[in-house]
Amino acid sequence: MSSRTPWRARAGTALLAVLASIGAFAVPGSAVADSPSESLQTVTYHGYRIAVPAEWQVVDLAEDPRACLRFDRPAVYLGEPADQNDCPSGVVGRTAGIVVEPITARSAGQSTAATARTQRGKATAPTAASSNDTIQIAVEDAGVLVTAAHTPGTESLVRDILASADLTEGAERTVLPRAAQRSDAAPLAAAGPQPGSYLGKGFDACAAPSQAAMNAWQTSSPYSAVGVYISGSFRGCSQPNLTASWVTAQTGNGWRLFPIDVGRQAPCTSYSLKISTDPATAKSQGVTAAAGAITAASNLGIPAGSAIYSDIEAYTSTASCKASVMSYLSGWTERLHTSGYLSGLYSSAASGIKDAASEYNNGAYTRVDHLFYAWWNGAADTNTGSYVPSNYWSNHQRIHQYAGEVTESYGGYSINIDRDYLDVGNGTPPPASCTGANYNFTAYSTVQSGSSGDQVKAAQCLLDAAGFDPGTPDGIFGSATATAARNFQTSKGLTADGAVGAKTWTALLSRGSTPTVQNGSSGEAVTRLQRALTAALGRTVGIDGAFGSGTAQAVRDYQSSRGLGADGIVGPATWSALQSGK
CATH topology of domain 432-502: Muramoyl-pentapeptide Carboxypeptidase; domain 1 (1.10.101)
Straight-line distance from the first to the last Cα atom of the chain, in angstroms, rounded to the nearest whole number? 50
- List C-alpha distances in Å: 357 to 66, 307, 344, 354, 370: 41, 19, 13, 5, 12
Reference 343, options 476, 436, 442; nearest CA is: 436
List C-alpha distances in Å: 146 to 34, 50, 78, 176.
19, 11, 10, 12
> CA quadruple 427, 432, 437, 442: dihedral positive or negative?
positive
Closest CA relative to residue 76, chosen from 130, 107, 113, 33: 33
- Name which of 101, 94, 53 is nearest 70 in CA terms: 94
Residue 538 Rama label (left phi>0; alpha psi -120 to 50; beta): left
E strand residue ranges, 323-369: 342-348
Mean pLDDT split into 10-residue runs, the chain, 582 residues: 32 37 35 60 95 95 91 93 80 90 88 89 92 91 95 92 94 81 51 93 96 95 97 90 93 96 96 93 92 91 94 97 96 89 97 97 92 98 97 96 96 95 84 77 92 89 94 89 96 96 97 94 93 95 91 96 95 97 96
Contact between 403 and 90 under an 8 Å Cβ cutoff? The reply is: no
- According to CATH, the topology of domain 198-424 is TIM Barrel (3.20.20)
- Classify domain 512-581 at the CATH class level: mainly alpha
The confidence score (pLDDT) of residue 28 equals 36
Question: Does 195 sit behind a cis peptide bond, omega within 30 degrees of 0 on the bond before it?
Answer: yes
Do 555 and 546 touch, CB atoms closer than 8 A? no
| pTM for the structure as a whole | 0.68
Per residue in 410-463, pLDDT (tens digit) is 999 999 999 999 999 987 666 667 876 789 999 999 999 988 888 999 999 999
Domain ranges of the chain: 40-167, 198-424, 432-502, 512-581
Task: Determine the Cα–Cα distance for residues 330 and 342; give it in Å rounded to an integer.
Answer: 12
CB 275 within 8 A of CB 136: no
State the amino acid at position 258 in one-letter form. Answer: F
Phi-psi region of 321 (alpha: psi -120 to 50; beta: other; left: phi over 0): alpha
Cα-based distances in Å from 116 to 176, 183, 278 = 10, 13, 36
The two domains 198-424 and 512-581 share their CATH topology (first three levels equal) = no
72: left (phi over 0), alpha (psi -120 to 50) or beta: alpha
* 206 secondary structure, DSSP code: S
Nearest to 342 by CA among 356, 332, 357: 332
- Is beta strand 342-348 parallel, antiparallel or unpaired with respect to 307-311? parallel
Closest alpha carbon to 575 in 519, 536, 520, 541: 536
Confirm if 510 and 562 have CB atoms less than 8 A apart: no
Could you give the dihedral angle defined by the CA atoms of residues 227, 232, 234 and 239, in that order, rounded to the nearest 10 degrees? Answer: 60
Please tell me what DSSP assigns to residue 16. Answer: G
Q: Rounded CA gap, 577 and 570, in Å? A: 10
Spell out a b/e string for 70-80, using b for 16 or more CB atoms within 10 Å of the CB, else e.
bbbbbbbbbbb
